[in-house]
A and B are shown apart, each in its own frame.
Chain A
Amino acid sequence: AQKVTQAQTEISVVEKEDVTLDCVYETRDTTYYLFWYKQPPSGELVFLIRRNSFDEQNEISGRYSWNFQKSTSSFNFTITASQVVDSAVYFCALSGGTNDYKLSFGAGTTVTVRA
């Protein structure tokens, strides 16, 4: 069975602070993919990143960075110098193995950035 745990329910920061969102996953598959999605107040889910289990290189995209560590089954997401527009719910998700078509989502972390 696949499972994604986002232990942080809510995080509140002041603008320009860095914020790190934790994601821990469980899977028995050797090949799997991890994802992050953003859900702003408008409601749509916005795809941010997909990583496969064989690529542990960290990735940076603008103010966003991701740290993938297979040894701890974690795929953490950091927003550097947060802005009010970063306020959203962020979801980590997993697919792979016999569930290679569907995303198993975590419960989400609500990030509030205050001006």
Chain B
Amino acid sequence: DARVTQTPRDKVTEMGQEVTMRCQPILGHNTVFWYRQTMMQGLELLAYFRNRAPLDDSGMPKDRFSAEMPDATLATLKIQPSEPRDSAVYFCASGLGIKNTEAFFGQGTRLTVV
């Protein structure tokens, strides 16, 4: 049963600390997304990769967030330094295809910054 795998599932950290979230997309998928879910903003796109190249990261606060794909089986989202307002559930999703593809989501990383 192919699925997107995210680690960790839960993370509690102190303000100012670095946070790294990892995602293993479904094998063979060439698009990877990072979404953030909060009560206030709902689901927002943070970054989008196609064939490992970042094509859109306009949704990310550039000064503290960074997203990379070191290889086709790993995507990372880093926050440094973390702030309480970053508390949210971060979802990774992957898809097959270029346009208007359905995205398959992982279980999310619930981040709490205290």
Contact = CB atoms under 8 A, between A and B. Distances in A.
B31 A101 contact: yes
Interface residues of B, number: 24
A101 B50 contact: yes
A90 B52 CA distance: 30
Interface residues of A, number: 23
Interface in A83-103: 91, 95-96, 100-103
Nearest to B104: A47
Nearest to A91: B43
A16 to B, nearest CB: 29
B48 A101 contact: yes
Given A101-B50, A101-B56, A95 B100 contact: yes
Contact of B99 (A42, A101, A105): A101
Contacts of B104: 47
Contacts, number: 51
B107 interface: yes
- Most chain B Cβ neighbours within 10 Å, of A42, A91, A103, A107: A103
B102 A43 contact: no
Interface of B: 31, 33, 42-43, 45, 48, 50, 55-56, 89, 91, 93, 98-108, 110
16 contacts: A42-B107, A43-B107, A45-B105, A47-B102, A47-B104, A50-B102, A100-B98, A100-B100, A101-B31, A101-B55, A101-B56, A101-B101, A102-B33, A103-B43, A103-B45, A108-B42
